[in-house]
Every structure is written in structure tokens, then in C-alpha cells.
Structure 1
Amino acid sequence: MIIDVRPNGSNGRLLALSMFVVAMWGITAWLRQVASELAPLELTGFAMLASAAASRFGANTRGALARAPRAHPWFAWLFVSGGLAGGAGFYFAALEFAPAAQVVVVTYTWPLLFALASDVYSRRRPSVITFFSLLLGLAGVVVMNGGAEMPRGSAWIGYAGGLLAGSSWVAYSLFLQVYERPIAQDFPAFFAAAGLLALVLQYGVHGGLVLPSDWQTYAVAIVLGVGPYGLGFIAWGHVVRNGNPRVIPVLPYAVPAVAAVTLVAAGNTQASVSLFAGCGLAAMACVSALRQ
């Protein structure tokens, strides 16, 4: 059957929220290029601290920094803060070692992994339509980026980083889907912990912070924190806890399409037939997933 996506229905609101997340994540690649002077962990740290500050304006978040450590066990911090820091940090690092197009192909295997892991954990029988939609979306990502090529030299590190970023998003999404305690009001604390973790790792790995003098770089870090990694992850957390588990994993396949259009509009990527063909396949995957 076709799910209810009426604008006034709960499913419609969740779908609209999902599209908002897709749009936020879709501009991440462009913003990363603008803030290229910041090291991956440093950019992650600043973005997460900006997320912590922005999320303080959410409902019932007052006192989150003092309340959250008592309200959630250690493994919640591992999956939520670790997933936030890992998803951003590994992705930014991957772009340092391998071409962005191929990194996207590797990273966006995560919706398929999330769908399979969610079904296995919940002891659901995998949906044929979901599996078909996921494969169709993955094909769209591959076509969008001109097909897959064998990595060379340090590109292996970039692809490994993309896989780790995707795995972090899978862990974050699956945990929020099954975690029983309310978490929305404590996001400021989880974001702050993720930011501090990234900056501590930056200091330990690189021996300190590299602070660029360009104020625009810091502005982009704040935008990343408030938008894609702030509002985006909070909204996604709400979607995975309340949305259709068959449809949710397919929607992120639209992210590469949004990213491609954004990069073309910014003049950072050249438009091509394969690019638009891949976008079409990703759109077909999302439509297919909605028909269940």
C-alpha cells in the first residue's frame, strides 16, 4: 500500500522533516570545500560546539549539560556523541585522501547497511521493495559519480574513512531507533561531548589546533554546526524514532543528488549526463520506497 503522506498527517510531517534533513546534508560537501583550511577533526569540533550552542534554544533543553550525564548510561554517549563525531570527522577526513565523488559512493552504502541492520535487530523480514529501492538508490549514486574505479595509493584511506563515516551514521541511527529514553532535550550535552572529543583527538593526533585567520572559515564551521550537524541530526533522530522503518533508510540516497546540484550551481562540479541520470535513479528509489 502507499503510505499516508498528506501534509496534515503525521507521516506527511515526518516526510517533510526527512526532506529538510536531506537538504541540510546535501550542502555539506560544498561547505566542507569552503572551510578546507580547517583540519577534519578541528572542523568537526567547532561544528559540534556550534550545534551544542544552537540546540540550547530547543524545548526543555535548559540544564541539559548537568542533567544528561545522570540521565543516560555510558553506552548512550558512545553511540550518540561517538556517532556524531565519527560521522562528521571520518567523512571530512575521507575527502582529504580520495576524490569526493568516489567517497560519496562508499559513504552512501550506509542506508543499505542501516536497513538490513534495523530489520535484523527488530527481527523483521526484510522487505523486497525496500531492498530493491536501496539497490536502485545505490546504483544512482554510482552512476551519478561516473561509475566506480579501483582506488590508488592513499585513496584507500579515503574510502576506508567513507566506510567508517557511514558506519558511524548506521550506529547513531540504529541506536536512536531502539533507545527507550527521551533524548531530544539532552542534545546540547551530546553535541558538546562530541565537539570536545573531536578537539581532544585533534590536539593529540596533530599536537594542537591550527587556527586559520580567515573569519569566513569559522562562519562556515558555525553554519555546519547549526544546520547539517545540528538541526539535521536532531531532525533525523526524531524521524528514525517515529517514521516508517521501511522508508527511512532510502531517503538519504537523495543527499548525493542535492550535493551534486549544489556543487554544480556553485561552479565546483561540471554538469553531465551521468550526474542527472544518477539523480533520476535516486529519485526513483525514494518514490519506490514510499509505495509500501
Structure 2
Amino acid sequence: MKSLTHRTRATIVGSLAVVLWSSLAALTIGATPTPPLLLNSVCFTIGGLIGFGWTLWRGHLSALGLIKWPVYVFGALGLFGYHVLYFYALRLAPAAEASLIAYLWPLLIVLFSSLLPNERFRIGHVVGALLSFCGAALIIANQSLDFSDTYLTGFALAAACALTWSSYSVVSRRFGDIPTESVFVFCLVTAAASWLLHFFVEATVFPTTYLGWAAIFMLGVGPVGTAFYFWDVGVKHGDIQLLGTVSYAAPLLSTFILICLGKAALSVTLVLAALLITSGAVVAARVSMLRRKPPGRSEI
């Protein structure tokens, strides 16, 4: 029972990352006119320093020296690769289409996780993820979609983005014995790489208002900072298939936040999307609960 409680707690912690990611769009708008890579650089610096302070306070800094360097390379490539691919996908293809392709990552997590030890392929998880994907697709497709050949490079980068984050999340499960404190190293390496790339391809432009700087700080503390520590706990120790489905709540919550801020309008499409995403999460949660029942009970 103790292990089940630990798994449930880790799943809840991982879900908090999804909640934080839902504020990404609103805070990014607030950080205008800061260009993407510069924003990435500053936010990951903040997120990395928060993790460093937390690790120092817990007295676990010396333990990180025992971690093999390939783990740090893997983590940094996961964080840096995902964000660079995502930013450039949105530059080379329309945002709606690129976002829709990139949001295949939760579904890929559900599928890939069946290859992990002690995990099984469950149709119910896939059905739940598909329902939620349809809901996310409705939100994104609220704009007119045009999958023109002109944007093939951008679409390919968006697909690579989905593959990168889903692979990073699933493979992280294999490193369950690696402490979450190691994520601050991933963040700082990602920040350093982002700073370097920024100076080559972007102009340095910072906000001119206190609200703009507040948005950047909140990004670094939340969706581009603490969220990655929460996600690490979730994918390593929680129900990774349920987390994959729950991740589709991010675009839904994000849109509702934009509505509250007057940046988007409530519509029938949004309500239908909410129903689909919720239904998908309920189906996936039911499968996860059935898995915890004693042998002999039916599963989806």
C-alpha cells in the first residue's frame, strides 16, 4: 500500500507541472517583446538557480558528482532540444498547425511507456489519450488550418519536437534512481546553450515595463522552471500513462486563462474540447484505478 501511495503522490506532483505549463502562453504574451531564445535563456537561468538553491539547502550537492556525465547530456539535450525545435517550428510553419503536431507528445508518451518494465499496453489509456488529443486539436484548430507543402520543414521540426519530449519523458523513467536535483544542471546547461544561440540569431530586446519583467520572473519560477522538477518526479515515480493523458489539460487550461485575461473568447468549440479532454482523462484514470485492483478483476 505504501508504494501505491508513493506512486499516487508522484502522479499528483507530475500533474502540477501540467498546471504550471498552462500559464506559459499568458506569461509569454506578458513578456513581449523579448525574443524566444532570450526568453528561454533567462527563464532557464532562473529555474536552474532555484534548483541549485534547493539542492544546496537539502545538502545533496555533493551527490550530484556521482552521476555519470551521459545522464547530464541526456537531460540537457531533452530540455534544450525540445525548446529549440518548438521555437523554430513555430517560426517556419503557422503556429496552429505546428502546435497541433507538437502536441502529439502526450499520446506518444502513452504509447512508448508500454515498452517500460512493469508497464503494459492498455487500450484504455490509448483511447483516453486519443479523446484528449481530439479535444486539444479542436482548441488549436479553432484557427483555420493549412498544411501546405511550403511549411514542410516547420512541420518536420514540430514532429521532432513531439518525439524529443516524449522520448525524454519515457527514458527518464529508466533513470528513476537519479535524484530530481540533477534537473537544475539540465536547466543551467540549457540556459547556457540558449544564451549562446541567442547571441548568434537574435537581437537582445528586454521588456520596458515592470509587468514584463514580472512575467519573465514568473515564467522562470513556474512553467520554465519548477514545472520540470515536478515533471521529473511524475515520470520517474508516478503513473506515466495517466500523466500522458492528463497533459492534454494544458492547452485547455491555457485557453481558459487567456479568456479570463480577455485574450480569447469563450465558444461552443472550447466547451466541446473541454468535454473531450475531460472524458479522455476520466477513461485513462479509470484504467489506472482498475490496474491497482487485485488480480482477477477485469481491465479495459
| 1:162 aligned partner, one-letter code | A
Q: Distance in 2 between matches of 1:269 and 1:157?
A: 29
| 1:143 aligned partner, one-letter code | L
Aligned CA distance change for structure 1 residues 155 and 222 (closer, same or farther; 3 Å): farther
- Following superposition of structure 1 onto structure 2, how do residues 142-161 of structure 1 map, counting pairs within 5 Å? 142-146=137-141, 149-152=145-148, 155-161=151-157
Stretches of structure 1 lacking an aligned partner (at least 5 in a row): none
SS at match of 1:278: helix
Give the Å deviation of 1:120. 2.7
SS at match of 2:54: coil
Is 1:183 the equivalent of 2:183?
no
- Following superposition of structure 1 onto structure 2, how do residues 195-210 of structure 1 map, counting pairs within 5 Å? 195-206=191-202, 209-210=203-204
CA contact (8 A) 1:85 1:194 kept: yes
- Following superposition of structure 1 onto structure 2, how do residues 266-277 of structure 1 map, counting pairs within 5 Å? 266-277=261-272
| 1:184 aligned partner, one-letter code | T
Q: State the aligned residue count.
A: 284
Which residue in 1 is equivalent to 2:81? 86
- Following superposition of structure 1 onto structure 2, how do residues 1-292 of structure 1 map, counting pairs within 5 Å? 9-60=5-56, 68=64, 70-122=65-117, 124-146=119-141, 149-152=145-148, 155-206=151-202, 209-212=203-206, 214-215=208-209, 216-292=211-287
Q: Distance in 1 between matches of 2:286 and 2:199?
A: 48
RMSD: 2.9
| 1:214 aligned partner, one-letter code | T
Q: Distance in 2 between matches of 1:65 and 1:190?
A: 14
Structure 1 residues 56-65 or 123-132, which shifts more? 56-65
Structure 1 residues 85-94 or 240-249, which shifts more? 85-94
Q: Distance in 2 between matches of 1:160 and 1:219?
A: 34
Aligned CA distance change for structure 1 residues 49 and 62 (closer, same or farther; 3 Å): farther
Give the Å deviation of 1:230. 1.4
Q: Distance in 1 between matches of 2:36 and 2:62?
A: 29
CA contact (8 A) 1:107 1:165 kept: yes
Return the TM-score normalized by structure 2.
0.82
Q: Percent identity?
A: 24
CA contact (8 A) 1:44 1:85 kept: no
| 1:19 aligned partner, one-letter code | S
Give the Å deviation of 1:238. 0.2
Give the Å deviation of 1:64. 7.4
Deviations 1:210-268 (A, max 9, x none): 13251443432221111012111100100111112331211101111111101111111
Give the Å deviation of 1:65. 7.6
Deviations 1:140-183 (A, max 9, x none): 11122336733347654554443333233213212211115423
